[in-house]
Structure 1
Amino acid sequence: MNNVIGIFTGKDLKWMESEGGSGYWIAKTDRIKNAKYVIFVRNHRETWAVKDDGLQHGQAFMIGRISGCVPTAKYLGRKLIQISEYSLLPDTLNFKQAWKKLTRGQRYPVAYLNTDDLSSELDLDVDNLEWTVFDPSPSAENDGAVPENVNASDDAKELSEIIAEAKEMIAHAAGVDADKVNIQINF
């Protein structure tokens, strides 16, 4: 069972606290809610990404315990992954190139993993980490989150979400990058 979500992000802890979690992702709600952990890996390719914290592109820097998931009003069809606790990962060789180790360098920024992957690829034992309470900004709760009861049909996916997931599955099966997969719809 995949109980870890890998996130390739340009955001740091301070940014996530300001948003109330990690967002804004195209991911299946049930997969997020069934996962126990989220591991964050630095992505420097976005122009807005945090780049002055000494982390390398592809380096794992933090892991969090997932406490929930909410759809957002900020970006239709996307989710905010909420966390209750986090542990900052040391700046050691084990965590360098983590994205490549965990996902073979996939281009889609969300990956479904398990704790065995973290153990075998990064030598990370989640049971022996020191956890710190995640402290979201008081304004984050209302900044872009859609109350659970407003979007009762959250299981109905947006077309963009379905296409993104299909491209990832096809790319994985074919052993190519997702940007090499084209999907055409004729009406």
Structure 2
Amino acid sequence: MADTIVTFTSRSLQEILESGGSQEWVLNRRNARNATYLVCARNANGDHAPGPEEHKSGFLLGKISGLGPGEWTPERFIIQISEYANIDVADLWTFGRNPIHYANLEDLGINLNKIDWKPVGSKPAAKRPAAPLRKVPVSIFDTAKEMIAKQLGIGVDAIEITIRT
């Protein structure tokens, strides 16, 4: 049975620590509940706060303290951690496109005897302001409306797209 959840994340170490864990994940609950450790590997191609680590390298090891609803998407999970350690494992992420993988710490080449644990801050993370709206070219909406209209067999003028923030 896997003792570690490995995430492929574009969030920075600071963002993970401020949130109290790595979040917005779709998890296999049974596997996640049995995990003791979290390992984060750098996705340098993501759209969050970049970190200095090399793409696919492992940079954080955490002791899982619980699972909770994601801050922005309650159907997704935050993997909460109580302690963490900085690690530097080159090319750790070898698991494909799904950004969650379940593994054993030993198989990842991480030796717990060499880990210097630090507590994660006990103060609750402050809510981040909503991300600024992105300007989306009108052609994306036109394309979407055409696809929906075609699928439903109705006119494009009958389709309205509403965005709520």
**Unaligned regions of 5+ residues in structure 1, if any?**
145-187
**Could you say what the CA RMSD is over the residues aligned between the two structures, in angstroms?**
1.9
**Paired position in structure 1 for 2:91:** 97
Is the radius of gyration larger for structure 1 or structure 2? 2
Q: Which runs of 4+ in 1 moved over 6 A?
A: none
2:115 aligned with 1:138: no
Give 1:138 shift. 2.1
Partner of 1:64: 62
SS of residue in 2 equivalent to 1:69: strand
What's the CA shift for 1:19? 1.7
Closer, same or farther in 2 for the Cα pair 1:4/1:21, shift >3 Å? same
Q: Tell me the distance in 2 between the aligned counterparts of 1:75 and 1:15.
A: 17
Structure 1 residues 58 and 21: CA distance shift in structure 2, 3 A = same
Identify the residue that residue 115 of structure 1 maps to in structure 2. 105
Give the equivalent residue in structure 2 for 1:20: 20
Scaled by the length of structure 2, the TM-score of the pair is 0.70
The structural deviation recorded for 1:136 is 5.2
Q: Which moved more, 1:4-13 or 1:67-76?
A: 67-76
For 2:146, the equivalent position in structure 1 comes to: none
Distance 1:31 1:80 in 2: 14
Summarize deviations over 1:18-64 as a string: whole Å, max 9, x none. Answer: 2221101000233222101011100011133414x2x1110111100
Equivalent in the alignment of 2:145: none
| 1:128 aligns to 2:111 (yes or no) | no
Give the drift of 1:76: 3.6
SS in 2 for 1:117: helix
CA contact (8 A) 2:15 2:49 kept: no
One-letter identity of the residue aligned with 1:29: R
Q: 8 Å contact 1:43–1:49 — kept in the other structure? A: no
Distance 2:101 2:70 in 1: 20
Aligned residues: 128
Distance verdict in 2 for CA 1:56–1:85, change over 3 Å: same
User: In 1, distance between residues paired with 2:31 and 2:78?
Assistant: 13
Gaps of 5+ in 2: 129-165
Q: Among all aligned residue pairs of Structure 1 and Structure 2, give the percentage whose two residues are the same amino acid.
A: 30
